[in-house]
């Protein structure tokens, strides 16, 4: 059995937000499964959801669609959604090239307490 291309780890930060740390590759073969897992983890996150893409080594259009869809779902419930994409990383480059920052709240790093820095 082969290893999955991507992993998602969920935790709560000090402010009660769900932080989803994604590592590996997000592509057509695994985006639907990742989306379902992330939506389940984000479920009752009234304080907000943060998706950390710092350890993502590849993301294609289906991965971008996953982020937009999760953002839309959370927005409909009034839940804040933030994407962390460190400068120079693969995900940051893809988000910049595709202008996804116009659709998503994207920051470069998690703050000291697990919160994105104020922008």
Q: Would you give the DSSP letter of residue 34?
A: H
CB 63 within 8 A of CB 95: no
User: Looking at per-residue confidence, does 97 or 111 come out higher?
Assistant: 97
What are the percentages of helix, strand and coil residues in the chain, rounded to 5?
35, 30, 40
**Whole-structure pTM over 0.75, yes or no?**
yes
pLDDT tens readout for residues 28-87: 999 999 999 999 998 866 789 999 999 999 999 999 999 999 999 999 989 999 999 999
φ, ψ of residue 4 in degrees (nearest 5): -65, 150
User: In CATH, which superfamily holds the domain spanning 6-107?
Assistant: STAS domain (3.30.750.24)
């Amino acid at each position: 059995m082969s290893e999955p291309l991507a992993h998602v780890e969920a935790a709560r930060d000090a402010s009660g937000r769900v932080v989803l740390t994604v590592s590996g590759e997000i592509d057509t073969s695994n985006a639907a499964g990742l989306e379902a897992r992330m939506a389940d983890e984000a479920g009752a996150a009234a304080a907000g959801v943060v998706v950390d893409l710092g350890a993502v080594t590849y993301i294609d259009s289906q991965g971008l669609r996953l982020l937009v869809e999760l953002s839309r779902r959370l927005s409909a419930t009034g839940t804040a959604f933030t994407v962390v994409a460190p400068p120079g990383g693969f995900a940051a480059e893809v988000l910049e090239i595709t202008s996804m920052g116009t659709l998503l709240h994207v920051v470069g790093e998690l703050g000291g307490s697990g919160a994105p820095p104020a922008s």
